[in-house]
Structure 1
Amino acid sequence: MLSRRLFLKSTALIGCSVAAHPLLNTIAFASAPGENRLVVIILRGAMDGLDVFQPYGDPALRELRRTLSVGPENGAIDLDGYFALHPALDSLMPLWRVGELGFAPAVSTPYRDKRSHFDGQDMLEAGTGTDLDLRNQRDGWLNRLLQQMPNVQSETAYSIGLDDMRILDGPAPSKSWAPETRLRLSAQGQRLLEHVWHDDPLFRQAGGQAMEIIGSGVSTVEEENGPTRDARLLARFAADRLNGDTRIATFSIPGWDSHSQQEKVMSKPLARLAAAILTLKDALGDNWGKTTVLAMTEFGRTARENGTGGTDHGTGGAMLMAGGAIKGGRAIGEWPGLADRDLYAGRDLMPMRDIRAYAAWALRDLFDVSQDVLTRTVFPDLDMGDNPGILA
């Protein structure tokens, strides 16, 4: 017999094996006033920004990375005479050329020195400034944003994931969706379940979500197979919602932890990231011109490679920006340099700006959110500084 506990668990994890789908993470949506769209992609595992956007013009780079391939002579694509793009993102070069791809080269959250993926991701998604704030702040910055925006109506997508995204935790409701969702019930079966859960609020809520899955048409979302299939599915479903009433979407792409054999490790998540961005562009159509994509990671990696062809947990990293609404084709923000005297703690890229400031200015310019709300509520105690001019 199907127990109450098992049913509740099953409705949250319908139709998917975690082992078979390591990419799956919660994807959630909200509607908001206006026509601008925002997509936040969390890159779980600490992406090496020095590898993705290679500062080959800095003479120290090749000394720090003697076995890792860097620079145009090793296949990277020159961007501006100083930075080069990792060859696995070659498919994004048309976006760079028309100003729909950009990056901030030296950013981080306020998280320092402990270098834990879990704490770093929590701080990134909670949007807090200190560990103390993190312990006291139970919701995520996108959820706090939704609570502050007038006439916002939460819309749900249906996902199963390895875990919840803290960025969406809080009073503003969100549900979830992911590829391969499957649930089929006859009308008689649906009536029977509704009768069974009628007097149990928790059972009724989970069952109601399952019924929404049945009626949502989610199971009709299809994509061809391949190593980037799940990323394309997430992006295509996100675009489908963003072409409707949805204005804000977020999902995650894991796989960036590159302690050894970095050149092999990085190719897979970079291919997924490129596929997600290009799928968004293709599926959004004309709405791509009103869309901003922010790809953020919990921290960067060490400037110097280690003895196993990889890099370890660091501090400063890079933030990728894409979309028809951005003013790209450029590095946005200051570059600290890679000489020993310029490194953070003698080992990491020095962050030049709080990554939250870029997100805050994007929210301000996209949705006309006041700086007071952004620095007091969405990102507590944030110094936004000058507008970096992300949007075109």
Structure 2
Amino acid sequence: MDRRRFLSLLGCSAAAYPLSTPMAFASAPGENRLVVVILRGAMDGLDALQPYGDPDLARLRPGFAIGPAAGALDLTGFHALHPALGPLLPLWQAGDLGFAQAVSTPYRGKRSHFDGQDILEAGTAGEVPDARQRDGWLNRLLATMPGAHGRTAFAVGRDEMLILRGAADYASWAPDAGLDLAPATIDLLLHSYHDDPLFRENAEAALELAGVSGVGKGRRADALFAFSAAQLRENARIATLSIGGWDSHRGQPRQVARGLETVSSGLLRLKADLGEVWDRTMVLAMTEFGRTAAQNGTMGTDHGTGGTMLLAGGALDGGRVWGDWPGLAETQLLDGRDLMPTRDVRAYAAWALHDLFGTERAALETLIFPGLEMGTDPRLLA
């Protein structure tokens, strides 16, 4: 394969950006932007945002590095930021980063990833939506925007995201191009370009975007955020994408660090590429459920309930942790094992839609998030 042919294939792949990770966009009136990131696999919110001020955290997780003494970055005197999110500390200090603690969807019981993700994206009140009637809360939001224009929505990636599926028109697209290369050819290609920074980086990016495993890990997420920023700078107002790999049953310290580094890098890429549009953007990073308060026997955690939501963006009035802390004593845990949720994660999403797009509360509590009681205004918007 010569460089000209490789660059031709690279162009096909790079145009697609997320070849295997789903992403969707929507055009909407106004100047505010929303980015929804689904963290698939149940991110451990007690690790991302460590409530080290609760003495039971260290008791429950003796094998994990917890709190400022172990390298985490103090935020509030009670909460610390996981070291892998350290590059986001300037965003916290600028009010462009915040967290909602002890949140969950209404889903309880079996703690299935598939059901939990369906409920999160459908925005329903707790029962898994019927397969024939599934639609997503972002799609129902679009149906309430009479001024939507241009491309109402479009999805990029091989998998459809439930969060945008529904009656409101949107288009989907997935690239057909791929790089069908034998392992020896991949090794030869990367070796040939090793001493050429431009071609080496492009080769790694193309192979990663084409779904070739073991190449350019972490690059795909940056591409997702960069592609999102490019659309949001134009006439798109809503973007949704997903990042997987959060199911940390074993070896959690290493696995969670990798995931958080991906989120950190992606958010910084989004901010840089959005430029001044960042000041009118809010990011909601949500996961299907939290993880058990106590570590298990393989240095991991199992499927839980209460978790953490990450919020970012220049439109955010951040530098805060929202939500009531329920405590980690045995009597304070749900079913004696999970962080007790103190607020529906949908409430934060609903208030974000209300603040960014002026969506009426009645529509949010009935049509977009059926059965939701939004409660008091957390005042997310700067």
Q: TM-score with structure 1 length normalisation?
A: 0.81
The 1:328–1:74 alpha-carbon spacing in structure 2 relative to 1, beyond 3 Å, is same
The 1:68–1:23 alpha-carbon spacing in structure 2 relative to 1, beyond 3 Å, is farther
Deviation at 1:164?
Answer: 1.6
Q: Structure 2: how far apart are the matches of 1:129 and 1:152? A: 27
Equivalent residue, structure 2, for 1:366:
356
2:273 partner letter: A
Give runs of aligned pairs for residues 39-118 of structure 1, distance below 5 A. 39-118=35-114
Q: Is the 8 A contact 1:113 1:315 kept in 2?
A: no
| 1:379 paired to 2:369 | yes
Q: Structure 2: how far apart are the matches of 1:277 and 1:23? A: 20
Q: Structure 2: how far apart are the matches of 1:22 and 1:242? A: 16
Give RMSD over aligned pairs: 2.2
Equivalent residue, structure 2, for 1:120:
116
1:151 partner letter: G
2:140 partner letter: R
Q: Structure 2: how far apart are the matches of 1:231 and 1:293? A: 15
The 1:42–1:132 alpha-carbon spacing in structure 2 relative to 1, beyond 3 Å, is closer
Equivalent residue, structure 1, for 2:246:
256
Residue from 136, 140, 149 that aligns with 2:136 = 140
Number of paired residues? 335
Residue from 283, 289, 294 that aligns with 2:279 = 289
Identical-residue share of aligned pairs (%)? 57
Q: Structure 2: how far apart are the matches of 1:158 and 1:40? A: 13
Q: Structure 2: how far apart are the matches of 1:340 and 1:79? A: 26
CA deviation profile, 1:217-272 (whole Å, cap 9, x unmatched): xxxxx798543211111111111110011100000000000000001111221111
Equivalent residue, structure 1, for 2:157:
160
1:227 partner letter: K
The 1:240–1:223 alpha-carbon spacing in structure 2 relative to 1, beyond 3 Å, is farther
Give runs of aligned pairs for residues 183-202 of structure 1, distance below 5 A. none
Equivalent residue, structure 2, for 1:244:
234
CA deviation profile, 1:125-165 (whole Å, cap 9, x unmatched): 0000021655674110000000111121334556223x321
Deviates more, 1:227-236 or 1:241-250: 227-236
Q: Structure 1: how far apart are the matches of 2:369 and 2:155? A: 27
| 1:357 paired to 2:353 | no
The 1:23–1:316 alpha-carbon spacing in structure 2 relative to 1, beyond 3 Å, is farther
Give unpaired runs (5+ residues) of structure 1: 1-13, 184-221
2:100 partner letter: A
Deviates more, 1:351-360 or 1:124-133: 124-133
Q: Structure 2: how far apart are the matches of 1:97 and 1:289? A: 15
Q: Structure 2: how far apart are the matches of 1:67 and 1:159? A: 40
2:226 partner letter: R
Q: Is the 8 A contact 1:107 1:351 kept in 2?
A: yes
1:292 partner letter: M
Q: Is the 8 A contact 1:144 1:378 kept in 2?
A: yes
Q: Structure 2: how far apart are the matches of 1:80 and 1:333? A: 14
Equivalent residue, structure 1, for 2:321:
331
Q: Secondary structure at the match of 2:222?
A: helix
Deviation at 1:357?
Answer: 0.4
Q: Is the 8 A contact 1:28 1:177 kept in 2?
A: no
Q: Secondary structure at the match of 2:260?
A: helix
Give runs of aligned pairs for residues 310-349 of structure 1, distance below 5 A. 310-349=300-339
Q: Is the 8 A contact 1:39 1:248 kept in 2?
A: yes
Q: Is the 8 A contact 1:223 1:229 kept in 2?
A: no
Q: Is the 8 A contact 2:155 2:170 kept in 1?
A: no
1:327 partner letter: D
Q: Structure 1: how far apart are the matches of 2:273 and 2:129? A: 38
Q: Structure 1: how far apart are the matches of 2:89 and 2:176? A: 33
Q: Secondary structure at the match of 1:60?
A: helix
| 1:270 paired to 2:260 | yes
Q: Secondary structure at the match of 1:257?
A: coil
Q: Structure 2: how far apart are the matches of 1:387 and 1:175? A: 34
Give unpaired runs (5+ residues) of structure 2: 1-10, 179-201, 206-215
Q: Structure 2: how far apart are the matches of 1:70 and 1:96? A: 20
Q: Structure 2: how far apart are the matches of 1:311 and 1:182? A: 38
